[in-house]
Amino acid sequence: MIAIIDYGAGNLRSVRNALTHLGADVTTASTPDQIEGADKIVLPGVGAFGAGMAALRAAGFEAPLHEAVAAGVPLIGICLGMQYLFESSDEMGIHKGLGLLPGRVTRFPVDGPKVPHIGWNQLHARQETPLLAGVQDGSYAYFVHSYYVEADDPADVLATTDYGIEYASVVGRGSLFGIQPHPEKSQTTGLRILKNFVEMAS
């Protein structure tokens, strides 16, 4: 059973539809007790980092997510959900993240390409990982974001994307993963990544 966390700031319907299309048993968790016993967890997110983290904390998910990751439950953060995994973001002030991975979230340089980064761009594999099994290097995924992750540990960077700078677009450590583009909007590539997550041993 895969639990999708509903804290009022995530694009749940399209993610749920994609997972259901892949044959996954999916439930929506709006309270922390509803992720107890889940085989896997999906943390979606759209909008601003600070407001999203405030909503996630207010719903009581912070400690249970730490406990689930420590117990080895596979978890994937999508888009803003990936950014939550890190220590902080400077989007509209300094905001504390979940701190599950070392690093921070910051805005694309003002002298670079147009922000937000919207549209199709490539994933360049940097580490072997079951999450990207069968995904060819250079495959395209769909992005919508103005801020990106600066990961402190290169070993956590599973794939990068170039948008004026090279930045981490897929991250992971153990059973914890994050993906900056929207896999549910990324057609064949995105469905393959979600399928890999669904089929991952838990």
Catalytic residue among 87, 166, 182, 199: 182
Domain ranges of the chain: 2-199
Task: Pick the catalytic residue from 62, 79, 95, 117.
Answer: 79
| CA angle in degrees (0–180, nearest 5) for 8-116-137 | 95
User: pLDDT digits over 21-44, tens only?
Assistant: 999 999 999 999 999 999 999 999
Residue 8 and residue 60 in contact, taking contact as beta carbons nearer than 8 Å? no
Please tell me the predicted confidence (pLDDT) of residue 77: 97
pLDDT at 27: 96
What pLDDT sits at residue 178? 98
Under-50 pLDDT residues of the chain: none
Catalytic residue among 62, 91, 117, 184: 184
66 is catalytic: no
pLDDT at 130: 97
Peptide bond before residue 116 is cis, with ω within 30 degrees of 0: yes
Q: Tell me if residue 95 is catalytic.
A: no
Q: Which CATH number fits domain 2-199: 3.40.50.280, 3.40.50.880, 3.10.450.50, 3.90.550.10?
A: 3.40.50.880
Determine the pLDDT at residue 12. 87
- Catalytic site includes residue 182: yes
Tokens for 40, please give them. Answer: 């896997």
Per-residue confidence (pLDDT) for residue 194, from 0 to 100: 97
Among 55, 57, 127, 143, smallest CA distance to 99 is for: 57
Q: What are phi and psi of 130, to 5 degrees?
A: -65, -25
